[in-house]
Amino acid sequence: MNAAHTHAAQDADRAAKRTRGRIKRMPRAVRERQMLDAAVEIFARRGYRAASMDEIAELAGASKPLVYLYLNSKEDLFSACIRREAEALIAAVRAGVDPDAPADRRLWHGLRGFFAHTAAHPDAWAVLHCQARTHGEPFADVVAALRQELVDVVTHLIAATAEENGGGAPLPWQEASGLAHALVGAAESLAGWTNGRTDEVPSEWDTAETLMNFAWAGLDNLMNGRRWAPARSQVPSAS
Amino acid sequence: MNAAHTHAAQDADRAAKRTRGRIKRMPRAVRERQMLDAAVEIFARRGYRAASMDEIAELAGASKPLVYLYLNSKEDLFSACIRREAEALIAAVRAGVDPDAPADRRLWHGLRGFFAHTAAHPDAWAVLHCQARTHGEPFADVVAALRQELVDVVTHLIAATAEENGGGAPLPWQEASGLAHALVGAAESLAGWTNGRTDEVPSEWDTAETLMNFAWAGLDNLMNGRRWAPARSQVPSAS
Amino acid sequence: MNAAHTHAAQDADRAAKRTRGRIKRMPRAVRERQMLDAAVEIFARRGYRAASMDEIAELAGASKPLVYLYLNSKEDLFSACIRREAEALIAAVRAGVDPDAPADRRLWHGLRGFFAHTAAHPDAWAVLHCQARTHGEPFADVVAALRQELVDVVTHLIAATAEENGGGAPLPWQEASGLAHALVGAAESLAGWTNGRTDEVPSEWDTAETLMNFAWAGLDNLMNGRRWAPARSQVPSAS
Amino acid sequence: MNAAHTHAAQDADRAAKRTRGRIKRMPRAVRERQMLDAAVEIFARRGYRAASMDEIAELAGASKPLVYLYLNSKEDLFSACIRREAEALIAAVRAGVDPDAPADRRLWHGLRGFFAHTAAHPDAWAVLHCQARTHGEPFADVVAALRQELVDVVTHLIAATAEENGGGAPLPWQEASGLAHALVGAAESLAGWTNGRTDEVPSEWDTAETLMNFAWAGLDNLMNGRRWAPARSQVPSAS
DNA sequence: AATGAATGAGCGTTCATTCAT
DNA sequence: GATGAATGAACGCTCATTCAT
């Protein structure tokens, strides 16, 4: 199951599965999607190198040559997975964001989209976060672009708000970028944390709220020119 | 070369290299360290699966059977790498922390130790952060333990301070844990960000300051019972 | 395009191409010829084993199952190519020969036919000379038969003339056969030589003249009982 | 068995074979030679593409990884075979030739060396003549160089003698080259003919004599300015 | 303490060939 | 007459691992 599935595609899928084992023939698009689904699952479970095309083909319910016919090579298959899942994640983050809302509300909605999607598609998230970044150029590039896109959105959000508020010294772009990286990293970490839990899993609402509580005060301070300074040993920031 | 090297070990190392190629015999401890150094480098560069024992043995300047004699198997070798580097990282984080200092200074010094170490040992950090977590149980466990140790320290720091301050509602343990995860994730993300930069690389001081600015205000607010709250008129939009 | 194409066949071919892409239906004979043409080209370029049925089908402008429907298997397809091209070559050699002309003129015209054909159909020649002989029984046999036919013609020509002239000792059949093999080999070698040249390619007339100059004097001598003899003081030096 | 085997190497070989099956360890040089021997045999029997590394390894009495360890790849293995056999053939041709003997005797001895070697090493000859020339650049080049070397020797022999005799018009270089190709082709053809026979196989002496009888008179005529001309229908050459 | 020699097992990839329509 | 969908079998190559010395 993937976020990109249209309603029609799901119907075709169901029809295909209903007769699985008896009639194998099915249109290329359906098969291709099944293969990507299987590949994401296996790549997430085993890692890129340890995943075997045999296992992927088997899980997809097709023969290995067919996987190659449709997706060319292990590398291309992995790329296709990454691209599909990256786009789905970006879409999920953007879906709930109202561009005219104030900064904190935009962040809040983006985070909720992010946590909801990573929780709903843990394999996809594992592939994007853990696997794709640790393997050579072709894959890391796609994922780096995805991450950069998220980071850029946040960086702009921070920089724009800071300039708007304009209290005190302006926030240098590089620092805004560092803050954005910190926020994205915190989000990634929380996504992994909630996914890994077996006891009471917090809702995406709770997780997003925790992160907003964690991050917003500091960001708000900085965007208004109030800083924490290493030299003095007192709590400096809270107004 | 690893941070754990003592001065004596470095002397032995130099002596070994001086005669490399002529006399190969050298004490087991030295050889073993060379092997681990080589393994960390190769694992970081290629990933666990793609790293070959041949390449590691060659870089270590020893024959393959010797590597097996000392370290048993690829799995054990990787485990040994992870354990060594995890301990070194924990030690680096703890080194500068004065247990009697106030909370924000303890955090500040821990972060500086963390960023200094990850910047000085990028291969070790790559192995811990990128490789070890993406491969089956035996390794992920070791790294999870490391991470848990860091998270626990931070969680205690947060929870203790919150209780001390005691302003308003108490901070539940689970939320403290979530905040700690967020902070550790933000730190990891910033470590990766600074390691990956080719232009003016920020000092560990700057990086730590950025993170303190980012995090401390939110933490301080929470620990004093001040929270960020979503507006009530939200459409939950769960898929 | 093959030398065996009749005028009528070429017309049909042109008609077929005019509508290619719109109406694919065409008579079996035409399709079959296109397939053989494509196969000869691919087999010449890649060799029997390396040629893929996919590539042949694509070049022939047909689907793979259709190729199988018409030509059964790769083996049969290759056989069909060989047979067609062998017959065409034999026909070309025979075409210009007047059975009542004297021996040297019969040879002269046969050689000119041979060189003209191999130069005009390099792919066919490559398949016959290079590919067909290097692969197991079924193909080598067909080509061996072709070669034997050429050799036999020459052998008869030599033997008959020798007997006719009857000067001195008679020419044993086996020696006549050896001479014929030598002449055919020389012709093959020259065909390959002229085909491989990129600078001024000699005409088939020149090539044939070179070979006549090379061969005729020796043949004529032998056929008239004059021989070349090794000196008697040889050290046989068998290893 | 290969012509390049030294006496010492053969001893080692015999010792190795004596214990085959019980003790597999043997020095790299010996194993490598066994692998080349096996590869030549299999390549000759099946062709380059159809030969499988499994079969070669089995015939060599070693495991496949060892073949790859020593010879890198199928391509390299084939190259090594070609190079070894080409050198052995060239050496055999040159071995019996006295550089100060007259032209016809030099040719005579070279041919005897050639036929003796091709008869003694039919697999090697098949690889050089049939397989190596029909596969891409890397191999064809080596064999083309071998053939060119033979052709050059003969071309020089012809051209030099012609100039020496100087009767009538000089023999153009290109024609001399064509004649040399014809002679080499005739020799190759005869080698294949005698190798393929199952009845009374002619000795290398007989084969060489047949070819000398075939070729020498024509060459001698040409080298003395006497030619065969297509226009007149009489036997024109024999003096 | 140290290594050259050797392999079982498995993976990514390709290809000739066949159904079902 | 024509084809999109599908596969069994094999091949080139690599790697972690172990002997015998």
Q: Taking a C-beta distance cutoff of 8 angstroms, is the pair B44, B121 a contact?
A: no
| Packing angle, helices B173-196 and A173-196, rounded to 10 | 130
Region class of B234: left (phi > 0), else alpha (psi between -120 and 50), else beta: beta
Q: Taking a C-beta distance cutoff of 8 angstroms, is the pair C78, C85 a contact?
A: no
The nucleotide minimizing the C1' distance to residue A67's CA is F6
Residue B183 has pLDDT above 50, yes or no: yes
Closest CA to C118 of C106, C107, C130, C102: C130
Cα D82 from Cα D124, distance rounded (Å): 8
Nearest CB among D47, D185, D215 relative to C190 is that of D185
Assess A104–B contact: CB distance below 8 Å, yes or no: yes
Assess D13–C contact: CB distance below 8 Å, yes or no: no
Estimate in Å the CA A180 to C1' F3 gap, whole number.
Answer: 54
Residue span(s) of chain C under CATH 1.10.357.10 come to 75-225
Cα C148 from Cα D140, distance rounded (Å): 27
**Which protein residue's Cα is closest to nucleotide F6 at C1'?**
A66
pTM: 0.84
**Subunit contact B186:A189, Cβ cutoff 8 A:** yes
- In this predicted structure, what is the pLDDT of residue C125? 92
What residues of chain B, 39 to 58, have a C-beta less than 8 Å from chain A?
47-50
Residue A13 has pLDDT above 70, yes or no: no
Closest CA to C34 of C52, C47, C15, C48: C15
Structure tokens at D152: 């050059």
Interchain contact D/A (3 or more Cβ pairs less than 8 Å): no
Cα A79 from Cα B53, distance rounded (Å): 28
What is the CB neighbour count within 10 angstroms for residue A90?
Answer: 18
Burial class (CB in 10 A: 0-12, 13-18, 19+), A212: buried
What residues of chain A, 72 to 101, have a C-beta less than 8 Å from chain B?
95-96
**Subunit contact D228:C211, Cβ cutoff 8 A:** no
- In this predicted structure, what is the pLDDT of residue D12? 47
- Type of residue numbered B128: L
**What integer best gives the mean pLDDT of chain B?**
82
Contacts of B48 (CB under 8 A, 6+ apart): A47, A49, B78, B131, B132, B134, B135, B139
- Type of residue numbered D235: V
| Top-ranked range on mean pLDDT: pick from A15-29, A59-73, C169-183, D96-110 | A59-73
Size of interface C-D (CB pairs under 8 A): 172
Determine if strand F comes within 7 Å of the CB of D75. Answer: yes
Contacts of C56 (CB under 8 A, 6+ apart): C35, C38, C39, C42, C67, C77
- In this predicted structure, what is the pLDDT of residue B11? 52
- In this predicted structure, what is the pLDDT of residue C8? 53
Estimate in Å the CA B28 to C1' E9 gap, whole number.
Answer: 32
* Average pLDDT rounded to a whole number, residues B12-25: 49
pLDDT in tens, A132-178: 888 877 888 888 888 888 888 888 887 777 777 765 567 788 888 88
Percent of residues, chain A, with pLDDT higher than 70: 83
Query: pLDDT tier at B238 (50, 70, 90 boundaries)?
Result: very low
**Which protein residue's Cα is closest to nucleotide F9 at C1'?**
A65
pLDDT in tens, C162-213: 777 765 567 788 888 888 899 999 999 999 888 888 888 888 898 998 888 8
Return the higher-pLDDT residue of B160 and A111: A111
**Subunit contact A120:B217, Cβ cutoff 8 A:** no
Helices (H), A47-136: 53-60, 64-71, 74-95, 103-120, 122-126
Residue A17 has pLDDT above 50, yes or no: no
Estimate in Å the CA C225 to C1' F19 gap, whole number.
Answer: 71
Query: What does chain C look like in DSSP terms, one character per residue?
Result: --TT--HHHHHHHHHHHHHTTT-----HHHHHHHHHHHHHHHHHHH-TTT--HHHHHHHHTS-HHHHHHHH-SHHHHHHHHHHHHHHHHHHHHHHT--TTS-HHHHHHHHHHHHHHHHHH-HHHHHIIIIIGGGSTHHHHHHHHHHHHHHHHHHHHHHHHHHHHH--SS---HHHHHHHHHHHHHHHHHHHHHHHH--SSPPPHHHHHHHHHHHHHHHHHHHHTT------S-------
Distance from CA of B26 to the nearest CA of A (A): 35
Assess D28–C contact: CB distance below 8 Å, yes or no: no
Element (H, E) at B26: none
Q: Which residues of A in 56-85 have their CB below 7 Å from strand F's atoms?
A: 62-66, 69
**Chain A: residue nearest B179 by CA?**
A214
Residue B234 has pLDDT above 70, yes or no: no
- In this predicted structure, what is the pLDDT of residue A116? 94
**CATH number of the C75-225 domain:** 1.10.357.10
**Subunit contact D105:C231, Cβ cutoff 8 A:** yes
Determine if strand E comes within 7 Å of the CB of A73. Answer: yes
Q: Which residues of chain C have pLDDT under 70?
A: 1-24, 166-169, 231-239
Nearest CB among D108, D204, D233 relative to C102 is that of D233
- In this predicted structure, what is the pLDDT of residue C119? 92
Tell me the HSE value of D223 on the side-chain side, using a 13 A CA sphere: 24
The nucleotide minimizing the C1' distance to residue B71's CA is F17
Estimate in Å the CA C19 to C1' F8 gap, whole number.
Answer: 38
**Which protein residue's Cα is closest to nucleotide F7 at C1'?**
A63
Helix (H, G, I), strand (E, B) or coil at B131: helix
- In this predicted structure, what is the pLDDT of residue D6? 46
Helix (H, G, I), strand (E, B) or coil at B203: coil
Contacts of A48 in chain B (CB under 8 A): 49
Distance from CA of C223 to the nearest CA of D (A): 10
Distance from CA of B138 to the nearest CA of A (A): 13
**A161-177: buried (b, 16+ CB within 10 Å) or exposed (e) per residue?**
bbeeeeeeeebeeebbb
Contacts of B20 (CB under 8 A, 6+ apart): B61
**What integer best gives the mean pLDDT of chain A?**
82
- In this predicted structure, what is the pLDDT of residue A73? 95
Estimate in Å the CA D22 to C1' E4 gap, whole number.
Answer: 19
Tell me the HSE value of A118 on the side-chain side, using a 13 A CA sphere: 28
**Subunit contact C183:D186, Cβ cutoff 8 A:** yes
A151: phi then psi, degrees, rounded to nearest 5: -60, -40
Q: Which residues of C in 168-187 have their CB below 7 Å from strand F's atoms?
A: none
Estimate in Å the CA A51 to C1' F18 gap, whole number.
Answer: 26
Contacts of C171 in chain D (CB under 8 A): none
- In this predicted structure, what is the pLDDT of residue A22? 43
Specify the fold of B8-71. Arc Repressor Mutant, subunit A (1.10.10)
Determine if strand F comes within 7 Å of the CB of B45. Answer: no
Determine if strand F comes within 7 Å of the CB of C65. Answer: yes
- Diameter of chain C measured on Cα atoms: 78
Looking at residue A51, the DSSP 8-state letter turns out to be -
Distance from CA of C23 to the nearest CA of D (A): 38
Cα C118 from Cα C18, distance rounded (Å): 30
- In this predicted structure, what is the pLDDT of residue D11? 46
A104: phi then psi, degrees, rounded to nearest 5: -65, -35
Q: Taking a C-beta distance cutoff of 8 angstroms, is the pair D185, D97 a contact?
A: no
Return the higher-pLDDT residue of A181 and D5: A181
Percent of residues, chain B, with pLDDT higher than 90: 36
pLDDT in tens, B55-86: 999 999 999 999 999 999 999 999 999 999 99
Residue span(s) of chain A under CATH 1.10.10.60 come to 8-71
- In this predicted structure, what is the pLDDT of residue A142? 85
Determine if strand E comes within 7 Å of the CB of C54. Answer: yes
D23: phi then psi, degrees, rounded to nearest 5: -110, 115
**Chain B: residue nearest A228 by CA?**
B213
Assess D175–C contact: CB distance below 8 Å, yes or no: yes
Determine if strand E comes within 7 Å of the CB of A54. Answer: yes
Strand E positions closer than 7 A to protein CB:
1-21
- In this predicted structure, what is the pLDDT of residue B40? 96
- Type of residue numbered A109: H
- In this predicted structure, what is the pLDDT of residue B106? 87
Determine if strand F comes within 7 Å of the CB of C29. Answer: no
* Average pLDDT rounded to a whole number, residues A8-21: 45
pLDDT in tens, B201-210: 888 898 998 8
Cα B66 from Cα B55, distance rounded (Å): 13
Nearest CB among A104, A131, A174 relative to B134 is that of A131
Q: Taking a C-beta distance cutoff of 8 angstroms, is the pair B32, B12 a contact?
A: no
Q: Which residue has the tokens 């003249």?
A: C209
Q: Which residues of chain D have pLDDT under 50?
A: 1-22, 233-239
Estimate in Å the CA D194 to C1' E3 gap, whole number.
Answer: 50
Distance from CA of D67 to the nearest CA of C (A): 23
**Chain A: residue nearest B108 by CA?**
A230
Assess D233–C contact: CB distance below 8 Å, yes or no: yes
The full length of chain A comes to 239
Nearest CB among B47, B133, B228 relative to A49 is that of B47
* Average pLDDT rounded to a whole number, residues A71-95: 94
Residue B144 has pLDDT above 70, yes or no: yes
Element (H, E) at B187: helix B173-196
Structure tokens at C188: 């093959």
**Subunit contact C209:D228, Cβ cutoff 8 A:** yes
Contacts of B108 in chain A (CB under 8 A): 230
Nearest CB among A178, A204, A217 relative to B210 is that of A178
Assess C210–D contact: CB distance below 8 Å, yes or no: yes
Q: Taking a C-beta distance cutoff of 8 angstroms, is the pair D190, C182 a contact?
A: yes
Residue A187 has pLDDT above 90, yes or no: yes
Residue B26 has pLDDT above 90, yes or no: no
